[in-house]
Chains A and B, each alone.
Chain A
Amino acid sequence: MTTIITNKSVSGATADQTAKKAVYETKQLNLWYGSNHALKNIDLEIMENEVTAIIGPSGCGKSTYIKTLNRMVELVTSVKTSGEILYRGRNIFDQDYGVEELRTRVGMVFQKPNPFPKSIYDNVAYGPRIHGIKNKKILDEIVEKSLRGAAIWDEVKDRLNENAYSISGGQQQRICIARALAIEPDVILMDEPTSALDPISTLKVEELVQELKKDYSIIIVTHNMQQAARISDKTAFFLNGEVVEFDHTDTIFSNPSDKRTEDYISGRFG
């Protein structure tokens, strides 16, 4: 007789799943850039306090997808969408849904560090000031808390008035993360946040992501397979604008169910 020993109980994924809520529910999302059908019937449920990695070859739609989550993709004039993205239960495409409100809840960190040409302090205080906070003491607190949250406080606390361009790329990226944290978002979108960083800075950002998921939900686009395997709870594999497979990261990297996923993660194409 043959018995299968399942590894479900080992991962324990099913147990904690019930307690978590979905932060984003994407339902039958389609997106076109002019006549180019860039996202096709996307159905994805992203859970809170998890790191969700989006992987796939260039041009598969993964960046387009995360830019849709904060409606940044609308900056491209020819964009057309259908379907729904529910953020905390509300469709972000609803006419009365304010895009500013959405972007206050959903911060974003980009591939290349893009600090403002201002002091470190002013970079982090920028968002809160826009939201009307003028009190110096409160701003000081927010700046310190955000820089600590981004694991860079100790490195910059004595040079807060220096221009953000004067520090290293890895530090700049963490300043950008601190800037995103300063408005106390609910979700942080990261579009290849470590692709321009050296291995040590990459490791720092990866460790930071692990810390941040206690308080935030993180969606990260990455070209680095090992990074997705190391830091994410779930992984979605995009190909030609479709989600081929979405599962626990452990499953995706040990025993994916779709051959295309296997071929991609093991470097057979892409």
Chain B
Amino acid sequence: MSLREKFEFELNSAQEQLIDLSTMAVNALNKSMEALVNQDVDAALEVIEDDKDINQLEEFINDRVILLIAKQSPVATDLRRLIVTIKVASDMERVGDYAVNIAKETIRIGNQELLPQIAQIQQMQKLAVAMLRQVIDAFVEEDIVKAKEIAELDDQVDELYGDVIRKLMLAGGGNPERLSQITQLAFISRYMERSADHATNIAEQLFYLVRGQHYDLNK
């Protein structure tokens, strides 16, 4: 293998690991929501445990990229790809952290009867996961059209989020026992909303990778 081929190989390997990391983070988000809906504490504990692997893989990717920058002095698209890899890995690791937070809230809720607003939070989760999956695909295909569509989905998530919070605030109805679950569900919907924002961040990174320019997809 020539030096250049080795570099390409390393670059591709880092990219493949980034896809693995993304898949793991999205699966964790899905699993944490399933655990919540099924009130399955064991599954929630698994999400918390599995996050160690996500964190480790992110560190591994970062080290690999730093070594490539140090040894190969990449420029132009190569350099952008490496910088974007680090940033996207950080976004995805964060999504993994939100899954952990949801799992912890699930454990706190235990077997209390779930409030009906859970249905809307599930809708948010479906959208956030769809956005994350779509952005991973867009990333693999370097498809900026696909990446742009993600911003539109994010508007739907934001709308749902506003609605869920409003309904949760009204759901107390003077019943102090409900307050803790209301707070926990409000946090969970916030984590879903943030996960969707990370998908948008990644879409912006894809624009930067392909075009070399900064785009703000939130406007």
Contact = CB atoms under 8 A, between A and B. Distances in A.
Interface of A: 1-7, 225-226, 229, 253-256, 262, 265-268
Nearest to B212: A255
Contacts of B212: 254-255
B151 interface: yes
Contact of A253 (B75, B207, B217): B75
Contacts, number: 49
27 contacts: A2-B148, A2-B207, A2-B215, A2-B216, A3-B215, A4-B213, A4-B214, A4-B215, A5-B215, A7-B214, A225-B73, A225-B75, A253-B76, A254-B75, A254-B76, A254-B79, A255-B76, A255-B80, A255-B212, A256-B76, A262-B76, A262-B77, A266-B75, A266-B77, A266-B78, A267-B4, A267-B7
A253 B75 CA distance: 6
B4 A268 contact: yes
Interface residues of B, number: 20
B74 interface: yes
Given A262-B77, A265-B75, A266-B76, A2 B219 contact: yes
Contact of B214 (A5, A226, A265): A5
Contacts of B80: 254-255
Nearest to B7: A267
Contact of B217 (A2, A254, A262): A2
Contacts of B217: 2
B184 to A, nearest CB: 35
Q: Which 3 A-B pairs have the closest CB atoms?
A: A255-B212, A5-B214, A253-B75
Nearest to B148: A2
B74 A266 contact: yes
Interface in B1-27: 4, 7
A5 B76 contact: no
A128 to B, nearest CB: 41
A120 to B, nearest CB: 36
Interface string B74-113: 1111111000000000000000000000000000000000
Given A3-B219, A265-B76, A266-B74, 15 more contacts: A2-B148, A2-B151, A2-B207, A2-B215, A2-B217, A3-B215, A4-B215, A6-B213, A225-B73, A253-B75, A254-B75, A254-B212, A262-B77, A266-B76, A267-B7
Nearest to B216: A3
Contacts of B76: 253-256, 262, 265-266
